[in-house]
A = this chain, B = another copy of it.
């Protein structure tokens, strides 16, 4: 299948590109290095340097023999996206091309506006360019479990059948997110759902939880093929951050009560979820939604797990609750369904002590690069 990966330079984009070529797909990647630029601007660059896309593509070809065309440009510009879609005519589109960080979106007005406009414009352009140049292509969109927020009822997989005064209606599950970034993902879903109904486009929306990890089947032997690894408050997800904090001897910063509960997954499972979705595409006129995570943890559980494994490796890992800079429920009901991807064949990689130890050992090799000032910045939600 010809698969175009939008945001192919990102934490998930590049590993996905390698994974899908390894599965026999013809893959091209698109990126404008937005995330690299924002990390540099905010002085929160990833743990180790990552070669640019052209360099990574060359490396991957030298290792695997697979050739991955690169398009560098901004998908929010119509002329650019039109040219890319027209020349590559994808059958599958993996849409990661968004500003991906909740804390960044709450940083200031400029960051909020950039997040809102970039994310919505790219999603709209993907829909319009798809219709014009590859109307049968299947769009696999990375959404987020954060779209649902933390409702007091079970989180179903995308849809909710409501009974009200003796009548019934099936709705897109009502969503209420905890950051502007997550709110733009709600809007993305609404936009995609509208054009699914109007134009019969084919969409899988993957409501993904926070991802952790570095290693995939494709990069394990080659450090230069590893993805970005952000450990800062702006772009680093919580478990990756805690691992770096443990290695750095920086107390694990648990926000508030630490009972915030989310569904997590290993980066290997992300790649497989995207692969499985592409292999069994949504039908024309279908918005298929999967909740994409494998295990549920509280922040306290993650901190304690990192502490236990770190201690076993001889580290001195402290846990330090700090005033929550975010506005969020610190204790809440959380029971999200996630059977769809398991039914498609997902074999989860769970968060074992070994997985955590492997991450810590990888970070240890770069311990001297860790900048303590990156870790805790306290972007306030209000």
Q: Which residues of A contact B (CB under 8 A)?
A: 78, 109, 112-113, 116-117, 120-121, 124, 128, 132, 151-154, 160, 162-165, 167-169, 171-174, 176-177, 180, 183, 186-187, 190-191, 193-194, 197-200, 327, 333, 381-382
Given contacts A152-B169, A176-B171, A197-B327, contact A113 B124 (CB under 8 A): yes
Q: A113-B124, A382-B198, A382-B199 are in contact. Are A168 and B183 (CB under 8 A)?
A: no
What are 12 A-B pairs with beta-carbon distances under 8 A? Answer: A112-B128, A153-B164, A153-B167, A154-B164, A154-B167, A162-B164, A171-B174, A177-B194, A183-B191, A183-B194, A187-B190, A198-B382
List of B residues within 8 angstroms of A193 by Cβ: 176
Closest residue of chain B to A173 (Cβ to Cβ) is B174
Structural contact, B124 and A116, CB atoms closer than 8 A: yes
Q: Could you say which residues of chain B place their CB within 8 Å of the CB of A327? A: 197-198
Say whether B165 contacts A154, CB under 8 Å: yes
A167 neighbours in B (Cβ, 8 Å): 152-154, 333
Beyond contacts A109-B128, A116-B120, A172-B174: 14 other A-B pairs, Cβ-Cβ < 8 A, are: A109-B132, A112-B124, A113-B128, A116-B121, A116-B191, A117-B120, A151-B171, A153-B167, A154-B167, A160-B162, A183-B191, A187-B190, A190-B190, A200-B382
How distant is the Cα of A240 from the Cα of B154 in the complex, in angstroms?
46
In whole angstroms, how far apart are the Cα atoms of A199 and B112 in the complex?
Answer: 14
